[in-house]
Amino acid sequence: MAYLSKEALEKAGFTDDIQPRRNSAVISLAGMPGTGKTTWAFTAPKPIFYQATDFGDDGVIQLVDGQVIRPATGDYKLEIPREYRAFADRKESDADRKAREGLLANFVHESFYVPFRKDYSKAIEAGVRTVVWDTALEIWEFVRLSVYGREATNRSDLQAEANSKFKEMIRLASLHNVNLIMINRLKNKWDSYYDSNGNVKWRKNELEFEMQGYDKAPELVAMSLWTGFAPPNTFTLEVKKCRGHAEWVGQTLPSVPFDELMAMLVPEVESWA
């Protein structure tokens, strides 16, 4: 087996050094309401920077052991002005609609994306160990709106820009060795079938679920977990993805705290503190 020398690699601007696996992870956490998503996320290493667009923390955040940081100005729940919204009875030309969509995109960019991205960067620079997005679905929707409003479009340049803005924020956590936990909800799948006339119809599958939100998130995370609850008091975590340890995929485990779970799934990392 041949090798290039260190000198040749350095001269070409390359390296073959492999660093130990870092003690941080980008995690997708999804589940139905009441299955312990936010509670589990708050077991991650502290300090935690909590960026919420949802109402799911009350009654949970008060029980957290350790420091949870939030913006002093509040959360990121955005109220879109009526003049930027689409209504079935709105009478407008195609040009007027496009202009309105542009105003909506500018409003969401300035009112949500800019402060959200600024707070996220400042928290990482301040030294937080974990960032929690609750929920990542709403964050993705606002990022998408900040590029092209609500307008349905096939313009690949706009889709690429929205994807790039969201991916860049996800990757920022990895670059700075910070845990990022993206909380999402699950929804029922819809199955297609043919009716008696041969027409394609759709019906809700009551037994199978899928994650809501950014469809490319599973490609960007190191771990994907689904929370579950079995009455009267059993919370679970199902491993959907585990980078580097695929033997865990498909297994359902008791809902143990972050550090205990990671010690099982990523044993080569000695400490997640």
Domain spans of the chain? 22-265
Q: What is the mean pLDDT of residues 146-156?
A: 77
The predicted pLDDT at position 158 comes to: 82
Task: Tell me what pLDDT residue 178 has.
Answer: 97
> Of 84, 88, 82, 77, which Cα lies nearest the Cα of 105?
84
Place of tokens 């600024």: 118
CATH entry, 22-265, from 3.40.50, 2.60.120, 3.40.1560, 3.40.720 = 3.40.50
What per-residue confidence (pLDDT) applies to 194?
Answer: 85
> Taking Cα atoms as reference points, which of 103, 179, 187, 172 lies closest to residue 137?
187
Residues 193-222: tens digit of each pLDDT: 788 888 888 888 877 777 777 766 777 899
CA dist 218 and 27 (Å) reads 9
Residue 170 · residue 180 · CB < 8 Å = yes
At residue 188, does pLDDT exceed 90?
no
Residue with the larger pLDDT of the pair 47 and 161: 47
Rounded CA-CA distance 224/229 in Å is: 17
pLDDT digits (tens, 9 = 90+) for 73-127: 777 888 888 888 877 677 888 888 888 888 999 999 999 999 999 999 999 999 9
Overall pTM surpassing 0.75 (yes/no): yes
Q: CB count, 10 Å around CB of 211?
A: 22
User: What is d(CA 215, CA 232) in angstroms, rounded to the nearest whole number?
Assistant: 33
- How high is the pLDDT of residue 182? 96
pLDDT of residue 56: 63
**All residues at 6 or more sequence positions from 189 whose CB lies less than 8 Å from its CB, including other chains:** 204, 205, 208, 209, 210
Residues of the chain with pLDDT > 90, as a percent, come to: 54
- The number of residues in the chain equals 273
More confident residue, 25 or 159: 25
Residue 155 is predicted with a pLDDT of 76
pLDDT confidence of residue 159: 83
**Mean pLDDT (whole number) for 221-226:** 94
H-state helical runs in the chain:
6-12, 37-41, 94-108, 114-126, 136-148, 156-175, 217-220, 258-265
Mean pLDDT of the residues in the chain: 88
Q: What is the 3-state secondary structure (H, E, C) of 89-118?
A: CCCCCHHHHHHHHHHHHHHHHHHHHHHHHH
- d(Cα 86, Cα 52) in Å, to the nearest integer? 25
For residue 205 the two structure tokens come to 């599958």
Give the CA distances from residue 146 to residues 76, 110, 230, in Å, rounded to whole numbers and listed in that order. 14, 8, 39
Q: Could you tell me how far CA 5 lies from the centroid of its own chain?
A: 41
Distances (CA, A) of 136 to 70, 148, 151, 185, 192: 16, 19, 21, 9, 28
Question: Pick the residue with more confidence: 160 or 176?
Answer: 176
- Determine the pLDDT at residue 152: 61
Burial level of 242, CB count in 10 A (0-12/13-18/19+)? buried
